[in-house]
Amino acid sequence: MKTLKFLKLPLLLSAFFILASAKPADDKGTAKIIDATKVIKAFSQMKESIPHELIAEYEGIVIIPKLINAGFGIGGKRGQGVAMVKLADGKWSDPVFITLTGGSIGFQIGVQSVDMVLVFRNKGVLAKVESGDFTIGGDVSAAAGPVGRSSTASTDYKLQAEVYSYSRSKGLFAGISINGSNLAINKSANEAYYGESTASADIFARSVDKTAAVTELKATLNAL
């Protein structure tokens, strides 16, 4: 019996060190991914949703839950979310954490929280964000996205814009302009979630995260 106890001791110690060295769960990152999934589900349940054809043809998406849009003469926007692109096999990449900030001048007052979705024609646009801030409206303009559940709703648009934006507040489309806003990679959030200093371009190029939160987000996008 003593021999068995001594044999078990190294196994127990090995298990302890494996658990101790494992990457701790990043609750904030996981929560952001879960919130992004809720945003996509909420959009899909609206009467006038993001057209399926748009998601099928375009290559990138940014999802920002609870973007803060505030103003008192001079307005400002700030929100954190995730960006994903389509890989060559049609699968969605793992999520990259991003931050969107912007300002505007004009008569406005109050604070509004909106859920925002940006759909990108070319995934290369998002891949270039790694080198610095990407200015929406400067580098490429965002147009209000067409709505509907079939291509008939988007025929007039012919899906030509480089970026289509959708914003939702209290169950209704909010119609907020984001031209002039900056989109940046949230490097600290990516490092906290992935446990390493991984370049956003590398994250965009893979689809290996099998966690429940990411798996559900990818499935929700596929079902949109």
**pTM passes above 0.85:** no
Q: Which of 145, 163, 179 is nearest to 77 (CA)?
A: 179
Backbone angles phi, psi at 218, to 5 degrees: -65, -40
Domain boundaries of the chain, sorted by first residue = 25-223
Cα 124 from Cα 25, distance rounded (Å): 30
Name the more confident of 47 and 66: 66
| pLDDT tens digits along 103-148 | 654 444 556 788 999 999 999 888 878 766 677 876 677 777 777 6
What is the reported pLDDT for 186? Answer: 93
What is the reported pLDDT for 222? Answer: 92
Q: Given CA atoms 63, 133, 144, 89 in this order, what sign does their dihedral have?
A: negative
| pLDDT tens digits along 186-219 | 999 999 999 877 889 999 999 999 999 999 999 9
pLDDT classification of 224: cutoffs 50, 70, 90: confident
Instruction: Identify whether the C-beta of residue 82 lies closer than 8 Å to the C-beta of residue 29.
Output: no
Q: What angle do CA 101, 103, 108 make, to 5 degrees?
A: 130
What is the reported pLDDT for 171? Answer: 52
